[in-house]
Amino acid sequence: MTAAASLPTSTSSPTSTMSRALRTSLAEVFDRTRAEDRAALIGYLPAGFPDRATSIRLMQAMVAAGVDIVEVGLPYSDPLMDGPVIAAAAEAALADGTTTDDVLAVVDAVAETGAATLVMSYWNPIERYDLARFADGLAAAGGCGVITPDLTPEEASAWRLITDEQGLDRIFLVAPSSTPERIATVVESCSGFVYAASVMGVTGARDSIAGDAESLVARVRATTDLPVCVGLGVSTGEQAGQIAGYADGVIVGSAFIKVIQAATSPEEAIEGVTALARELADGVRRRSR
């Protein structure tokens, strides 16, 4: 699609109009979805794609259409775990000048919707920005946590202290190849929820969801009471409903980005994202356990 004119990038962390006391937490979301006997719907988009102003509108549209938790992606130049769809979106955001400060400003705007708002980021950008500065800026913006796919618990001691100080949740990943011992290590370092990658390999929408996902969720649940959310590969309401039958949350990213890439204008992109979010939200509500 043709990007709208970019907003100037910010030079400092946002000053949020939302107090930390009013920030929606992951615990609140999962309490609500359990009370409604359904899984949470989690949507991912990179900040700054296709530009900062439009990325905010797209995420706000996702929330209005039924997304419970938003993952705001921090674009990175070397996204080793991302498939071509997300990598292309991140590249476009970086080419448009998106900075870490811009990411925090996007979080601020999305958190104002009342949705629990996370950042999904590789470790290098957070480390370069400064751990304490990033955590403080995220908390001030109304964010409630961070997913760090390439950070291992063994290397996260400083991060654990800083996120505890700011009341931010830490989400680490487990995979079908994770041993019981590895799952126990990851779970011990997590808060908020555990991210269960349903397939081995890079991110991307798929025609079917690997059968290993359900058994992985069961193995994680044997070690923790934390919610377990499944990502990597979900693209339809039917798939979302399938996963919602055994997981606490369904994570969708590449499917949203494909809709935006196929659009010819920001308005068409918003319409497409809204339609997909409604389909997915309907899927997680239709499922039966």
Question: What residues act catalytically?
Answer: 71, 82
Sign (positive/negative) of CA torsion 114, 116, 121, 127? positive
Sign (positive/negative) of CA torsion 249, 253, 259, 264? positive
- For the chain, the distance separating the N- and C-terminal CA atoms, rounded to the nearest angstrom, is 39
Residues in the chain: 289
- DSSP one-letter code for 48: T
Residues 6+ apart with CB under 8 A from 266: 1, 3, 4, 50, 54, 57
- DSSP one-letter code for 70: E
Cα 237 to Cα 281: distance, rounded to the nearest angstrom: 7
| Amino acid code (one letter) for 22 | L
DSSP 262-287: H-SSHHHHHHHHHHHHHHHHHHHHH-
